[in-house]
Amino acid sequence: MKLHIEKMIYGGNGLAHSANEAGPGRAIFVPFTLPREVVEARITKQHSAFSAAELESIAVASADRVTPRCAHFGECGGCQYQHASYDAQLRLKQEILRETLERAGLNSLPRIEPHAAEPWKYRNRIRLRVAEIGGQLRAGYLRRGSTDFLPIGMCPIAAPLLWRAAEALLTLGGNAAQWAHAAEEVEFFSTADVARLQMTLFVRHQPAKGFAQFCEALRERLPELEGAGVLIMQHAGQGRKTQRFRKGDTWGADGLSYSVAAESYWVSRGGFFQVNRYVVETLVDLVTRGRRGRLAWDLYAGVGLFSRVLAKTFSEVVAVEASAGDLAQNLRGEGRRTIVATTADFLRQAALERERPELIVVDPPRAGVGIEACTLLARIKPPEIVYVSCDPTTLGRDLKAMVDSGYRLRELHMVDMFPQTFHQETVAVLSL
């Protein structure tokens, strides 16, 4: 059917409606389209509230349409926006963020300030599947919308060192090759200046010996490699989220020292760190700049990305993280306190005590802070809350709860942490 694309929606699809003389027809989601385009599309799935379609051809193209840089775009599940100019991507993400927050019931939003950098070669971490195809070892991702393996020959959003590392792994010979063939997945993580590299192999069965020799052979081709480890995969259900791992052999350093502005953070192999090596400094600046006082709390603190900087301008910083190994190492010294707990547990206890911070920073996973935590934050009543979000839908839910409790949404920043994809990072500043 012929469709007129009205706008983009969160998730990367264009929205159209089927023709209906009585009014707007059924909502149809079409990937790889842009607003105001006229396309031919084929319905592939019917859902209760919408239909999913595949793009067949473009009758009228947007002026924002460009040629994708990656040969695998459209097949690979990683990117959704390579067909749009980068200026258009930023504009679309701001529009989606504003509409999502307004749909959550937030009115009179402040201007959304965009923050962006180089949109290619930005990723400091990639995790690839590994499989033998036609007698040749290949690395790749998943095909879009499936769990099928897609071998790839490039990844232009990754730092070049990461793909060079994958190619070195795949072409190892001799005894070292047994480790590459044993891997089902491999993860590479580099510093921002791509001077140092960590590798994790995910295997079902670890070869009996030779891991050190394998790593030494790989380092001959890849001098940036500083450490490597094996995780043995043990199924506990379907999908990565239910996967369990047992540690296997290790070699070299067990992490990296990652520099952001004037601070250096220890990140253990496999530990979480912001993925965009170009805009993480901007993110830290937005969260910490101009903020000072007696006491700040950093919730979901991770490795202490914000805590370390806040400790320069606050007399005391309390950083809360459920898994705080790296945090404890990065946040040492007088006036710096690490608490190993979930944010919900910490806030339940804190709400019963008299200690009140001047600033609370929250940087939750995609599920957001949640209504219970928002209620507890409103009871604690810090003068200022900085909310860092990677999901506009859960952000809208949580900001609405905070605004209803008396907070004012003062600033909104859209940080493009994930160019070429629909994902976005938001920094929201609330005050009483």
The two three-digit tokens of residue 167, written as one number? 């190619």
Q: Is the pLDDT of residue 179 over 90?
A: yes
Dihedral pair phi/psi, residue 248, rounded to 5°: -110, -145
pLDDT of residue 116: 98
pLDDT in tens, 202-237: 999 999 899 999 999 999 999 999 999 999 988 655
Q: Where in the chain is the domain with CATH 3.40.50.150?
A: 103-117+276-431
Give bridge partners of residue 31 from the DSSP assignment. 13
pLDDT recorded at residue 176: 87
Secondary element (H or E) of residue 101: helix 86-103
Task: Please count the other Cβ atoms lying within 10 Å of the Cβ belonging to residue 417.
Answer: 23
For the chain, give every residue range classified as CATH 2.40.50.140.
Answer: 2-65
Q: Provide the whole-model pTM.
A: 0.94
Of 391, 390, 399, nearest in space to 431 by CA: 399
**Which DSSP category does 174 fall into?**
G
Q: Please give the share of the chain, as a percent, with pLDDT higher than 70.
A: 97
What confidence score (pLDDT) does residue 173 get?
Answer: 87
- CATH superfamily for domain 103-117+276-431: Vaccinia Virus protein VP39 (3.40.50.150)
- Integer angstrom CA distances of residue 45 from 49, 51, 142, 363: 11, 6, 20, 35
**309 closest CA partner among 270, 358, 259:** 259
Residues of the chain with CATH 2.40.50.1070: 125-259
Q: What is the pLDDT of residues 139-175, one digit of tens each?
A: 999 999 999 999 999 999 999 999 999 999 999 988 8
Token pair for residue 362? 């929250």
The pLDDT of residue 328 is above 70: yes
For the chain, the average pLDDT equals 94
Per-residue pLDDT, averaged over 193-204, amounts to 96
Question: If pLDDT is split at 50, 70 and 90, which confidence band does 9 have?
Answer: very high
Q: How high is the pLDDT of residue 98?
A: 97
Say if CB 103 and CB 170 are below 8 A apart: no
One CATH from 2.40.50.140, 3.50.50.60, 2.102.10.10, 3.40.50.2000 for 2-65? 2.40.50.140
Question: In this structure, how many other beta carbons lie within 10 angstroms of the beta carbon of residue 329?
Answer: 16
CA distance to 139, 168, 176, 232, 305, per residue, from 217 (Å): 19, 10, 7, 22, 34
DSSP codes of every residue in 402-419: HHHTT-EEEEEEEE-SST
Within 133-279, residue ranges assigned H as helices are 160-170, 177-182, 211-221
User: What is the CATH code of the structural domain delimited by 125-259?
Assistant: 2.40.50.1070
* Residue corresponding to tokens 């390579």: 82
